[in-house]
Amino acid sequence: MKLAEKEKAYILLEDGLLLEGTAIGKKGTQGGEICFNTGMTGYQEIYTDPSYYGQIIVNTTSHIGNYGALDEEKESSTPKISGLVVNDYAEVYSRKTATQSLQEFLEENGVVGIADIDTRMLVRHIRSKGAMNAIISSELERDALQKELEKVPSMEGLELSSKVATQETYFIGEEDAENRVAVLDLGIKQSILKNLVSRGVCCKVFPAKTKFEEMKKWNPDGYFISNGPGDPAVMDYAVETVKGILEENKPLFGICLGHQILARACDISTYKMHHGHRGLNHPIKNLGTGMSEITSQNHGFVVSAEEIEKSDKVEVTHIHLNDDTIAGLSVKGKPAFSVQYHPEASPGPHDSRYLFDQFVKLINSSK
């Protein structure tokens, strides 16, 4: 499909808001939870991040597609988003290193989208009403959208990690590397693995539902619990694995969903946020150093600050400066810590990559 044809598309939100625009990507119908990302760059990294599985992404940056698509910038093998909403969509790209246009990339991977939408208005709507289900269609008339929207499951109570994680164990990094880290893949981004490998780590990546005993057989020096999609409240299988790791008392680092699972393993509950944190410009304060970091974030769930205050198992290490939500914690008496944001931050910013160094240092000091 060429955009010059200007085929129309619709997006219908759960609260009844209906918008008409131009069809982009593959012609079809897709539903999911609608949310927005405030990043100025990195649209391809966003679309291929497994944490976005089951979600329709609204890009707040008005001009999308202008630098095309490139295999090296994918965070997983294919886009994981359920749909895409943009304002000004560029079919022509300027970057010489790009291998294809964004339109070709979306069509090739079956992503349905809509352009020529007032995304500023739509984002204000989501901020006011909260994240909710929506449906995009370039094939159905507006009267048929409601029936399809009713089939879209709620994100709350949804287990999705096992759908996007690896189904087989695999290795990445040098076999004779100084440190060995067992990675529990809940929907990991490739940039995370690259950051570990660049620090002299050999990673063995395990499927989401791997039990602790299986990971332990490899005799790793440390454990990593990855980011991923879905509701942590229904992921008891991962909680049990992390409890086993804590009992072994080896270094553990968790990111995003991994942070939430670590909290649950310490009897701290999680809850769904009103509209979540998604973007490359979220301010975080490191309570240990007093320094602030501009961070990359992507999450719709968060750990309970009230329960952490009453807990004798964990302490807060980082807070989100916009709303004081918990952005990092450590386990008392254990070499285990986690953050709610993404220190690998591809395409940026890189303020928080020191956390990978902190993890490696913890491994070396624990040997």
Residue positions annotated with a catalytic role: 256, 342, 344
Q: What is residue 154's DSSP assignment?
A: P
Q: What is residue 230's DSSP assignment?
A: B
Token pair recorded at residue 124 = 């204000």
Q: Do residues 116 and 90 lie in contact, with contact meaning Cβ atoms separated by under 8 Å?
A: no
Closest of 223, 284, 283, 285 to residue 258, by C-alpha? 223
Distance CA 11, CA 98 (A): 29
Distance CA 127, CA 121 (A): 10
Distance CA 354, CA 345 (A): 12
Distance CA 260, CA 97 (A): 38
Q: What is residue 153's DSSP assignment?
A: P
Residue 320's φ and ψ, nearest 5 degrees, are: -85, 125
Closest of 259, 272, 258 to residue 208, by C-alpha? 258
Q: Where are the alpha helices (DSSP H) in 165-256?
A: 190-197, 212-216, 236-248
* 3-state SS class at 52: helix
Q: Do residues 342 and 297 lie in contact, with contact meaning Cβ atoms separated by under 8 Å?
A: yes
* 3-state SS class at 346: coil
Residue 312's φ and ψ, nearest 5 degrees, are: -105, 10
